Amino acid sequence: MNIALFGQSFDKVYFPGITRLLRELDEHGHQLTVFSEFADFLEQRLGRHYSRQFSGHGDLGEPELMISIGGDGTILNTLVHIQGREIPVLGINTGRLGFLSSVSTDQIDDIIRALNDGSYEIESRSVLEVKSSADLFTPVNWALNEVAVHKNDRSSMITVSAFVNGVYIASYWADGLIVSTATGSTAYSMSCGGPIVLPESETFVITPIAPHNLNIRPLVVPDHAVIKLVVEGRDNQHLVSLDSRSETMENTHTLEIRKAEFTMCFFRLPGHHFVETIRNKLMWGLDKRN
């Protein structure tokens, strides 16, 4: 199998597990193309040299799988390289929490077995597409987790007016507003009081950031909806974030958010389910009486 390998530097505690993974992939005949900056790290720290490298979307080629080594932020960065090609991504966690990169280095045998016998599952996740009159984030105007508008660091709160399919919903007096996918419901949205949504749910979640109103709550909308956001504030600029990427936008511009025409695909080991991840990572449902 042709495999692209993307990653970030990781702690030496993971060296044995990642070394074993790379050795097993080589021994089973899988062809690796490694992100150039990550290839330098692997050569310096693990002594493994890879001549087949890529530096971005343009020279990635046509891999059948991308392995992401790092945390959830690393997974989000793979979207920049994959863009709309729906290449399955396997996330191996060498970060902290690991919702998306939920496979540990203790599961190397399971990974190799699944690759060799084809017993893995492919899970598709919705992606957000953002259009703005300011033409931000082009050509990679997509987000897997969320789109957020928020005030500048030194400004007071902003007013974000939200429209769904052209229908006015509310004006949020807040530090900002998040529009998340079901995947992103366990990220920034959850930290701001939004609900946890199962990944297969065809929904978006609109969650205010620190609203100055007791009557405002998160709102779940169908993912075929088009969401428009209009911002007002004392400062004439605000920030817009797509996952971990941010740009400044003038208040005179508007944002339009919709479901992208493609999905992001994830490689899943057989028998794994999302609820196991939230139980193990967030201690969801933990009760000493059980």
User: What tokens were used for 10?
Assistant: 């990781």
Helix (H, G, I), strand (E, B) or coil at 95: coil
pLDDT tens per residue, range 100-156: 888 999 999 999 999 999 999 999 999 999 999 888 898 899 999 999 999 988 778
The pLDDT, as a whole number, for residue 84 is 87
More confident residue, 284 or 204: 204
Can you name the residues that pair with 162 across neighbouring β-strands? Answer: 170, 229
Question: Does residue 242 contact residue 184 with C-beta atoms inside 8 Å?
Answer: no
Contacts of 250 (CB under 8 A, 6+ apart): 134, 236, 237
What's the mean pLDDT when you consider all of the chain? 94
- Residue 119, CB half-sphere, CA atoms under 13 Å: how many? 12
Instruction: Taking the CA atoms of 255, 190, 78 and 199 in sequence, report the sign of the dihedral they define.
Output: negative
> What CA–CA distance (Å, rounded) separates 274 from 200?
10
- CATH T-level fold of 2-120+269-282: Rossmann fold (3.40.50)
Q: Which residues are catalytic?
A: 72
The pLDDT, as a whole number, for residue 26 is 95
The pLDDT, as a whole number, for residue 153 is 80
Helix (H, G, I), strand (E, B) or coil at 202: coil
Q: Is CATH 2.60.200.30 the classification given to domain 127-261? A: yes
Average pLDDT value for residue range 199-209: 96
pLDDT tens per residue, range 40-63: 999 999 999 999 999 999 999 999
The pLDDT, as a whole number, for residue 44 is 96
The yes-or-no verdict on residue 94 having pLDDT over 90 is yes
Question: Does residue 189 contact residue 218 with C-beta atoms inside 8 Å?
Answer: yes
The yes-or-no verdict on residue 88 having pLDDT over 80 is yes
Can you name the residues that pair with 68 across neighbouring β-strands? Answer: 6, 91
pLDDT tens per residue, range 7-38: 999 999 999 999 999 999 999 999 999 999 99
Alpha-carbon separation of residue 119 from 71, 111, 114, 175, 267 (angstroms):
24, 10, 5, 46, 10
Can you name the residues that pair with 91 across neighbouring β-strands? Answer: 68
Question: Does residue 187 contact residue 99 with C-beta atoms inside 8 Å?
Answer: yes
Average pLDDT value for residue range 181-192: 96
pLDDT tens per residue, range 207-261: 999 999 989 999 999 999 999 999 999 999 999 999 989 999 999 999 999 999 9
pTM as predicted? 0.92
The yes-or-no verdict on residue 270 having pLDDT over 90 is no
What residue ranges do the domains of the chain occupy? 2-120+269-282, 127-261
